[in-house]
Amino acid sequence: MSSTVAKQAELYSGKAKTVFTTDDDGLLILHFRNDTSAFDGEKLDQLDRKGKVNNQFNAFIMGKLEEAGISTHFERLLSEDESLVRRLDMIPVECVVRNIATGSMCKRLGVEDGIDLNPPTFEFFLKNDAMHDPMINEYHIETFGWATREEVAEMKEITFKVNEILSKLFADASLLLIDFKLEFGRHADGLLLGDEFTPDGCRLWDADTRERMDKDRFRRGLGGVVEAYEEVARRLGVDLVTAA
Contacting residues toward ligand UDP, per CB under 6 A? 94, 96, 103-105, 133, 179-181, 201-203, 215
CA atoms within 13 A on the CB side of 83: 29
Q: Can residue 70 be called a binding residue for ligand ADP (CB under 6 A)?
A: no
Q: Can residue 51 be called a binding residue for ligand ADP (CB under 6 A)?
A: no
With beta carbons less than 8 A apart as the criterion, state whether 68 and 168 touch.
no
Nearest to 195 by CA among 72, 68, 97, 75: 72
CB 146, min distance to ligand UDP, A: 15
Q: Can residue 90 be called a binding residue for ligand ADP (CB under 6 A)?
A: yes
Q: Which helix (H) or strand (E) holds 7?
A: strand 7-13
Nearer to ligand UDP, 52 or 181 (CB): 181
Residues 170-229 that bind ligand ADP (CB under 6 A): 183, 185, 194-195
# residues near ligand ADP by CB under 6 A: 17
Q: Please state, as a whole number, how many other Cβ atoms lie within 10 Å of the Cβ of residue 198.
A: 24
Alpha helices in 172-208 (DSSP H): none
Binding partner at 27 among ligand UDP, ligand ADP, none, C-beta below 5 to 8 Å by kind:
none
Binding partner at 180 among ligand ADP, ligand UDP, none, C-beta below 5 to 8 Å by kind:
ligand UDP
Nearer to ligand ADP, 162 or 176 (CB): 162
Q: Can residue 12 be called a binding residue for ligand ADP (CB under 6 A)?
A: yes
With beta carbons less than 8 A apart as the criterion, state whether 95 and 124 touch.
yes
Q: What is the DSSP letter of 137?
A: -
Nearer to ligand ADP, 37 or 167 (CB): 37
3-state SS string over 38-76? ECCCCEEEECCCHHHHHHHHHHHHHHHHHHCCCCECEEE
